Chains A and B, each alone.
Chain A
């Protein structure tokens, strides 16, 4: 692999990422699957980087899931998006940071539509006024939180207590990066690094000491897509998509998978269990799965946050082997203690997949 070829492409696909004053919008599902992630993001931005980040409880879903499942028409979606922008304008911000990748893709799509068809934008402004008496300004900048972390990856690396290195052998960990489809496949120019070799996660991995793996099914969708998994009998399609990726990455012996979408880590994490039940196959060493992380969780880990506060106990694939590899200190007995130190319950033991405790 000749890295200069990739670097040349990355130089062509750079975008402006704002330095401060972020208007943060949460994801519908990320908080359910990975409760610690968004909290970690806000904590890192405020406490570690000292930046201003604002969120309001009045914001709603962007309706991306409904739009992509053909349940909500585009005009409704655009009006909801307009309301989100109106809340941002009223709060006095202009840098819009949506937590979800699908949202990011949707907002980009809506802004591009309005850019090329100003009459639609005028119509939506009218809709919003009639429905809520609100007005909005187009954000100066639309970035994804992973772009922000990419922008500050070296600052995070400076404050890091751990790095992506196997402490026993001293070798960097093999990290597979997985970008959400809606980040750069629809509009390659809006993603850092473009659509073929996006570098937003590779930049983080390399800054934090790891070794980024490139494998053949790198750009394959994990199968989330909304349409297929909403109906139970279609989920076989989703599982097959993820399985194709696992089969392709296995020869490279990855230590972990890093993603930036809320849906992808959910699927890549949970489907390893489903595949182990249906086919009896696992993809890590010793019947272990490959642990899957979001970028907020990984940043939090290397900054020394408590893994259970980050919500890692809710992962299907146990993270403890990786924590041991990185030399991260954690308290095993606190794993199933919740927010108020109450016992939150323990999952059933899996048949084929390694379960450490």
Chain B
């Protein structure tokens, strides 16, 4: 029966049901991953961000929240220039993490 409307999808992040396995893996593989405070220094300096919308800040946050369905191709545009490593005030090994996440994406582990 068609009512002319439908039940809306809930925007609220249900944290307890999200899959945090990638975040946990990265925390153990590269402990500096835990130091990210989402300041955005990496994203601001990223060349790829200007033309392709690659936002490392956003990717890290999504991983930490367990919302990993969207990030499969996000890192494709990274040119591995290393500017993000220079900019990070907390010493996060951003380039190393990018390589690891890309590797896991290619192997469809996300």
Contacts and interface: CB of A to CB of B under 8 A. Distances in A.
A232 B5 CA distance: 7
B8 A278 contact: no
A215 to B, nearest CB: 16
B4 A233 contact: yes
A239 B5 contact: yes
A279 B1 CA distance: 11
Interface in B11-58: none
B3 A274 contact: yes
Contact of B7 (A233, A234, A278): A278
Contacts of B70: none
Nearest to A235: B5
A243 interface: yes
A51 interface: no
Contacts of A233: 4-5
Nearest to B1: A277
A338 interface: no
B6 interface: yes
Main secondary structure of the interface of A (DSSP, over half): helix
Main secondary structure of the interface of B (DSSP, over half): loop
A274 B1 CA distance: 9
A232 B4 contact: yes
B7 A239 contact: yes
Interface in A221-239: 232-237, 239
B109 interface: no
B7 A236 contact: yes
A214 B99 CA distance: 49
A243 B4 contact: no
A160 interface: no
Contact of A275 (B4, B5, B7, B10): B7
B11 to A, nearest CB: 10
A244 interface: yes
A240 interface: yes
A233 B4 CA distance: 6
Contacts of A235: 3-5
A235 B8 CA distance: 10
A274 B2 CA distance: 10
Contacts of A277: 1, 3
Contacts of B6: 236, 278
A235 B10 CA distance: 15
A272 to B, nearest CB: 13
A325 to B, nearest CB: 30
A244 B10 contact: yes
A237 to B, nearest CB: 6
Contacts of B10: 240, 244
Q: Most A CB atoms within 10 A — which of B1, B3, B5, B6? A: B5
26 contacts: A232-B4, A232-B5, A233-B4, A233-B5, A234-B5, A235-B4, A235-B5, A236-B5, A236-B6, A236-B7, A237-B8, A239-B5, A239-B7, A239-B8, A240-B7, A240-B8, A240-B10, A243-B7, A244-B10, A274-B3, A275-B7, A277-B1, A277-B3, A278-B3, A278-B7, A279-B7
Q: 8 smallest A-B Cβ distances: which pairs?
A: A236-B5, A240-B8, A235-B5, A232-B4, A236-B6, A236-B8, A240-B7, A277-B1
Given A232-B5, A239-B7, A240-B7, 10 more contacts: A232-B4, A233-B4, A235-B3, A236-B6, A236-B8, A239-B5, A243-B7, A278-B3, A278-B6, A279-B7
